[in-house]
Amino acid sequence: MRRRGAEHVAGLAERIELPASKRQVLQRAVRLEWLTIAFLVTAVAAMYAAAGSSQAMKAAWIEDLLSFLPPIAFLVTNRVRSKEPTVEHPYGFHRSVSIGYLVAATALLLMGSFLVVESGLALAAAERTPIGLVTVFGHTFWAGWLMVAALTYTLVPPVLLGRAKLGPARELHDKVLYADADMNKADWQTAAAGIVGVLGIGIGLWWLDAVAAILIGASVAHDGWRNLRTALGDLMDSRASVHDDWRTVHPAVDGIRDAVMAHGGVAAVQVRVREEGHVFHAEVFVVPGDERIALGELEDIRDAVRAVDWKLHHVVVVPVRTLPVGNLPSP
């Protein structure tokens, strides 16, 4: 028996399923995220085993732990967002993508700030990090080489994974996936900075270790702040933007205006488009040319708007005598 309140709301939500071509892209993205998690498990283990007392190594290890957040958020929200709408949630569950994005961005910002403060205090206190000798299979050598080996292992895969995710992130308009690709970039930069810090200790530049850790923390905090700002804007219904720059209006907005104005019975139009995760909600206000517009014409306008971009999930067409006032884009 169905649980009360779980009835599907017919006619309110549209396009629950992605287009066939996008579903293939999504499957590739899911495989990349599972591959990322598998790699991170080995990377975290290697970094933990080799970390020692190096500030840069500890920072890199914590950064690798944080790298689990975006792929996990993507996989979880991917399951939630595909649920059909209910009476309690007539718009569906696409906003779960924005929530996952917010969680990942907040964690990045907080942990990056923590690394900067902790390493800054260590640098101010002139704490010198000792790196001794280690014996492996009967061979004794400087432990720093073991650290460099672990960091090198975590250097190359993030470059390949990050680049592989950029295409699906753009095609799916998935900001969680884009944040993960951005995190992969921070991963390899972190590994490179960690190698510099460890080698700095080896040549007597004790302060280079703490400086490298500060740079790692600053990079993580910067990525966190940039993603947090975008996530908050999405949750506060800012205008729809491209997936990698909140300041650039998504081209679908102009596409909607052009599609509506191509209809002979429309004299003027105003458009409001907001993001709901990886899809858009559009409100289209139209002024009829002859003060009358038939229901069938409104449906034709709605279909024309939906044809502009697959991400146009909810489309509401409202006939009005005069356009809404305020800071809406000009027709």
Per-residue model confidence (pLDDT) at position 284: 93
CB-CB contact of 37 with 130 (8 Å): no
Could you identify the residue written with the tokens 């007597």? 204
pLDDT category of residue 16 using cuts at 50, 70 and 90: low
CB-CB contact of 317 with 281 (8 Å): no
Q: How far is CA 126 from the centre of its chain?
A: 37
CB-CB contact of 229 with 263 (8 Å): no
Task: Measure the CA–CA gap between 320 and 283, rounded to whole angstroms.
Answer: 12
Does position 96 have pLDDT exceeding 90, yes or no? no
Q: pLDDT tens digit string along 39-70?
A: 999 988 888 877 766 666 777 788 788 888 88
Radius of gyration, alpha carbons of the chain: 25
Going along the chain from its start, the domains and CATH numbers come out as 20-236 (1.20.1510.10), 247-319 (3.30.70.1350)
In b/e form, how buried is each residue of 241-276, taking b as 16+ CB within 10 angstroms? bbbeebeeebebbebbbebbeebebbebbbbbbebb
Q: pLDDT tens digit string along 120-175?
A: 887 787 766 666 666 667 767 676 777 888 888 888 899 999 999 999 998 988 88
The one-letter code for the residue type at 84 is: E
Could you identify the residue written with the tokens 């492996």? 136
How many angstroms separate the first and last alpha carbons of the chain? 50
